[in-house]
Copies of this chain bind each other. A is one copy, B any other.
Amino acid sequence: MNDRSTLDPEDWAAFRRDAHAALDAALDHVEGRAARPVWQPVPEPVKEALSAPLPDAPSDTPELISRMVGEIAAHDLGNLHPRFHGWVHGAGTPEALIPAMFEAALDANLGGREHAAVYVERQVIGWWRQIFDFPAGAGGLMVSGTSMATLLAMKAALTRHGGTALRDGGLAALPGPVAAYASQEAHGCVARAFDILGLGRGVLRRVPVDGEFRIRTDRLEAMIAADRAAGIAPLALIGTAGSVNTGAIDPLDRLAGIAAAEGLWFHVDGAFGAMARLAPTLAPRLAGIERADSIAFDFHKWLHVTYDAGMILIRDAGALRHAFADRPDYLAGAERGPAAGDPWFTEFGPELSRGFRALRVWYQMLRFGPARLGACIAANCAQAAHLARLVEAAPDLELMAPAPLNIVCLRYRAPDETAAEALNTAIVLALQERGLAVPSTTRIGGRLAIRVNLTNHRTRMADMDALAGDILRLGAELA
CB-based contact B307/A366 at 8 Å: no
CB-based contact A107/B92 at 8 Å: yes
Interface flag for A183 (CB, 8 Å): no
CB-based contact A4/B114 at 8 Å: no
**Interchain nearest-CB distance for A62 vs B (Å):** 10
In the bound assembly, the distance between CA atoms of A169 and B194 in angstroms comes to 10
CB-based contact B107/A91 at 8 Å: yes
A90's nearest neighbour on chain B, judged by CB, is B107
Q: Kindly identify which residue among B74, B115, B330, B351 contacts A77, using a CB–CB cutoff of 8 Å.
A: B115
Cβ–Cβ < 8 Å partners of A265 in chain B: none
Bits for A37-78, please: 1 = Cβ < 8 Å to B, else 0. Answer: 001011000110011111111111100110010011111111
In the bound assembly, the distance between CA atoms of A245 and B330 in angstroms comes to 7
CB-based contact B8/A72 at 8 Å: no
**Interchain nearest-CB distance for A29 vs B (Å):** 5
Q: Kindly identify which residue among B4, B116, B122, B331 contacts A76, using a CB–CB cutoff of 8 Å.
A: B116
Interface flag for A173 (CB, 8 Å): yes
Cβ–Cβ < 8 Å partners of A96 in chain B: 104-105, 107
Q: Kindly identify which residue among B22, B123, B189, B310 contacts A98, using a CB–CB cutoff of 8 Å.
A: B22
Interface residue stretch chosen among A226-234, A368-376, A390-398, A411-419: A368-376
In the bound assembly, the distance between CA atoms of A254 and B467 in angstroms comes to 62
Given contacts A77-B108, A147-B350, A352-B145, contact A93 B8 (CB under 8 A): yes
CB-based contact B72/A366 at 8 Å: no
**Please, how many residues of chain A have a CB less than 8 angstroms from a CB on the other chain?**
173
Interface flag for A201 (CB, 8 Å): yes
CB-based contact B200/A173 at 8 Å: yes
CB-based contact B78/A338 at 8 Å: yes
Bits for A1-44, please: 1 = Cβ < 8 Å to B, else 0. Answer: 00011111100100110111011101101110000000101100
In the bound assembly, the distance between CA atoms of A5 and B243 in angstroms comes to 23
CB-based contact B123/A109 at 8 Å: no
CB-based contact A73/B42 at 8 Å: no
Bits for A176-208, please: 1 = Cβ < 8 Å to B, else 0. Answer: 000000000001110010111111111100000
Cβ–Cβ < 8 Å partners of A304 in chain B: 7, 107
Offer 12 A-B interface pairs, CB within 8 angstroms, sorted by A: A7-B93, A7-B368, A12-B94, A42-B115, A50-B119, A54-B370, A64-B366, A76-B108, A77-B108, A96-B104, A145-B351, A301-B353
What 12 new A-B contacts, CB under 8 Å, besides A19-B94, A22-B98? A4-B372, A8-B94, A26-B101, A58-B372, A90-B107, A100-B101, A107-B306, A144-B144, A189-B352, A307-B355, A336-B433, A337-B429
